[in-house]
Amino acid sequence: MKALVVLTTTDSEDVAENISKKLVEERLAACIQIIPMKSRYWWQGRVEEASEYLLIIKTTDKKYPELERRIKELHNYTVPEILAIPVVRGYKPYLDWLSNEIGEEGG
């Protein structure tokens, strides 16, 4: 099992809540944290600033394709940030829990 941390942001607390609820219920993620924050970024040739919600999603490489598809379906952005970061190391009992909660054996 290869664990991943996936990041996405949205400007809507309701969208963040909906995405996190669906991904956990569908066992595409074992855990998701939502953090309010401020973002500054380039968009369509201009620097923009917005209040956003960062979703920190714990999943696996095997679940990633379906997780990405669901985020795109549920998201309110034209081009949502969806970044998968591999977990190089982690506490084995936590990684076992993550694997078991999304239906993968042998964390």
Model confidence at 104, in pLDDT bands (50, 70, 90)? Answer: confident
pTM exceeding the 0.75 threshold for the entire prediction: yes
107 inside domain? no
Which range has the worst mean pLDDT, 40-49, 85-94, 98-107?
A: 98-107
17 inside domain? yes
Burial of 39 (0-12, 13-18, 19+ CB in 10 A): middle
Look at residue 105 in the predicted model and tell me its pLDDT.
63
| Mean predicted confidence (pLDDT) in 56-64 | 97
- Looking up residue 72, the CATH number of its domain turns out to be 3.30.70.120
18 inside domain? yes
- Domain containing 90: what range? 3-101
Model confidence at 31, in pLDDT bands (50, 70, 90)? Answer: very high
Burial of 36 (0-12, 13-18, 19+ CB in 10 A): exposed
106 inside domain? no
